[in-house]
Amino acid sequence: MAGLVRLGYSLAKKSILSTTTRVISTTNQLNIKEIRERTEGTNLVIEGVTLPSPRTELLVRPPNVTPPLPNIDLSLTKLPSSEKPPCYMCALGLDVKHTDVLILSQFVRSDGCMLPKRITGLCKRQQKKIGKMVSMAQKAGLMINLTPSNSKKDPTKRKDYKKFNTYFDETTIFKKREMRWTERFKFRANAK
Amino acid sequence: MSAAKRVQQWATFARSWHIFDCKWQDPYESAHVIKKYLMGMHKPIYHPMNDCGDVVVCINSREIALRGDEWRKRAYFHHTGYPGGASWTLAWELHNKDPTMIIKKAVYRAMTGNLQRRHTMQRLFIYPGENVPEDVLQNVTNQIRQIRYVPKRLDHIPEEEVKNYPKVMEYPEDFVVK
C-alpha cells in the first residue's frame, strides 16, 4: 500500500516537474567524469570516463561487516531495527572527538557544510553526532580552510566572545535538557 | 643519601618555580592543579601551618579556552558598595579588559578563604603571552603538565598527511565532489 502511494506521489511529481526539469537520463547523470580525446586514424574519439574515488585505497572498514551500501537506503528495507546491520561508524566503534578534524573533514563539503545522510550512509544517531561535532569544530575554529568564502576565517578576528578559544564536551550531544526548577514547579501544580 | 634522594629533599624544602602553559586549557580545571603547587600540597611535608608552597608562572593566559557557551554565560559580579553599585561583567568582556584576570580569579576561588590565601596568591605570576621577564624565567625548574591536549587546526596539518590519512567515509558513485 505504501509503495503504491509512493508510486502515485512520484508520478504526480514527475508530471508537474517534467516541464522544467529533465527526468530521463541514459547515464548516471551526476557521475564524476573525465573527458578524454584521442585520434584513431582519421576518427576523433571523445569519451567520458568515470573516475575512481580517491578514497577507495585508504578506506578503513571493520572486518566482520559487509561493505557499505551507501546507495541503498536501509530505512526502505523491511528489516526491523534490531536485525539491521550497524552502520560503518557504529561498527568501527571509534571514539571521535570534535578535535579530530582529520576524520570530521571527510564528512563535509568544501564549504564546511555537513553532507546529508543519503551521501554519508550513516545511521540516524551517528549522523546527528558527527553533524554536531562538525559544528563544534567549526565554532572552535579548527577547520577554517573548510568554510564559506564570506566567513571570517581567522578565529581571532571574529566578534565579541567568538574570538576566544572554546572547547566542547561531546557528552552534551545527546543530553536531554534538564527541567528548570520553575518548570518542575509548574508541572507539579498542573498535576494536582 | 643517594644523589636522587638528595635532590628530592632539596626540591621539597626549597621554594621551586613551576611553569604552566595555559594555551587551550580550561582555567577552572587547571586552577585545581595550580592550587596544589602554590600551596605545596604536592609535597610530602605539606601541612596548612607550614609555609612550603611553590611559585607558579602561568604563560599564554590570553589563549585559555572555556567550555561551550561559557564565554557569554559566565558573569563576574562586582559591587562598589554604593546603592545601585552592582555590576556584572561577562567572561569575554573581562578577558578583553585583562587577559590575566580569569585565571587569577579561578585560582583564587579554588583555594579556601583564609588569611593565607592572599599571600599564596602573591606567588602566582600570570603573563598574557609568551613574553616572560628573563629574571622570572631563569628560576623555573619544572613544567606542570597540561590537562587538555592543544587541538591542531586542519590548515596547520600538512596537506600530504591530510591526503594520506585513513578514510572512513566513501563517496557514493553518483556524487559530485564540490
- Residue, of A73 and A144, whose pLDDT is higher: A144
Contacts B165 to A, Cβ<8 Å = 58, 102
Distance between CA atoms of residues B119 and B109, nearest Å: 14
Distance between CA atoms of residues A52 and B175, nearest Å: 11
CA A38 to chain centre: 38
Query: How many CB pairs below 8 Å do chains A and B form together?
Result: 122
The predicted structure's pLDDT at residue B12: 87
Res A179 pLDDT > 80: no
SS3 A94: coil
- Residue, of B67 and A192, whose pLDDT is higher: B67
Low-confidence ranges of chain B (pLDDT < 70): 174-178
A54 — pLDDT class (breaks 50, 70, 90): confident
CB proximity under 8 Å: A 19-48 to B? 28-32
**Candidates B29, B70, B168, partner chain A, best to mutate (most A CBs within 10 A):** B168
CATH class of B14-164: alpha beta
Distance between CA atoms of residues A80 and B123, nearest Å: 64
Containing A129, the helix (H) or strand (E) segment is helix A124-139
Distance between CA atoms of residues B116 and B140, nearest Å: 23
Asked which of A72-86, A144-158, B79-93, B154-168 is least confident by mean pLDDT, the reply is A72-86
A186 — pLDDT class (breaks 50, 70, 90): low
Does A110 lie at the interface with B, CB-CB under 8 angstroms? Answer: yes
Contacts A146 to B, Cβ<8 Å = 154
SS3 A165: strand
Distance between CA atoms of residues B42 and B33, nearest Å: 10
Per residue, what are the HEC states of chain B? CCHHHHHHHHHHHCCCEEEEECCCCCHHHHHHHHHHHHHCCCCCCCCCCCCCCCEEEEECHHHCEEECCHHHHCEEEEECCCCCCEEEEEHHHHHHHCCCHHHHHHHHHHCCCCCHHHHHHCCEEECCCCCCCHHHHCCEEEECCCCCCCCCCHHHCCHHHHHHCCECCCCCCCCCCC
CB proximity under 8 Å: A 1-20 to B? none
Contacts A59 to B, Cβ<8 Å = 166-168, 170
- Residue, of A42 and A79, whose pLDDT is higher: A42
Q: How far is CA B140 from CA A55, B3, B20, B100, B133, in A?
A: 48, 21, 10, 20, 12
Domain boundaries, chain B: 14-164
A61-172 classified as CATH 1.10.150.20: no
Mean pLDDT of A20-27: 57
Asked which of A71-85, A122-136, A154-168, B159-173 is least confident by mean pLDDT, the reply is A71-85
Cα angle: B40, vertex B109, A162; to 5 degrees: 120
- Contact criterion met (CB below 8 Å) for A90 and B168: no
Does B171 lie at the interface with A, CB-CB under 8 angstroms? Answer: yes
A1 — pLDDT class (breaks 50, 70, 90): low
Name the most confidently modeled range: A53-62, A142-151, B59-68. Answer: B59-68
Sign of the torsion formed by the C-alpha atoms of A129, A113, A161 and B29:
positive
The predicted structure's pLDDT at residue A58: 81
Distance between CA atoms of residues A130 and A88, nearest Å: 13
| Residue listed under C-alpha cell 557569554 | B72
Which residue(s) pair with A4 in the sheet?
Answer: none
Residues A96-108 have pLDDT tens digits of: 999 999 999 999 9
Domain boundaries, chain A: 61-172
A29 — pLDDT class (breaks 50, 70, 90): very low
Interchain CB distance below 8 Å, B169 and A71: no
Containing A46, the helix (H) or strand (E) segment is strand A43-50
Q: How far is CA B71 from CA A138, A165, B82, in A?
A: 16, 9, 28
Which residue(s) pair with B7 in the sheet?
Answer: none
Mean pLDDT of A89-96: 85
